[in-house]
Amino acid sequence: MWKNGQLVTLWENVYRIHKTQYFGGYQACMFCQKCNVKPPCINGFDYPEKHGFDLRSCRLNVPDGSIPKILKPKK
């Protein structure tokens, strides 16, 4: 499991695991979508790899009440 403040690379973009004011489930997912415009779990459809970062990976790796927040989108 990742820790809050940790930097992770998902689909060639760098994200920081960020503690939110929202807790768990869909509330955190909605906040993630708002912060990232396109959440990293959706990017799986844009890449040929089968085992990348998806919603299941997010729930397993990101602490409850936290989201991956993009730092610098790839160009």
Say whether 38 sits in a helix, a strand or coil: coil
- How many domains in the chain? 1
Q: What is the mean pLDDT of the chain?
A: 85
pTM across the whole model:
0.82
In a domain, 61, yes or no: yes
Pairing of strands 66-72, 7-10: unpaired
In a domain, 2, yes or no: no
The residue range of the domain holding 53 is: 7-72
Amino acid 1: pLDDT:
93
pLDDT digits (tens, 9 = 90+) for 34-66: 889 889 988 766 767 667 888 889 999 999 889
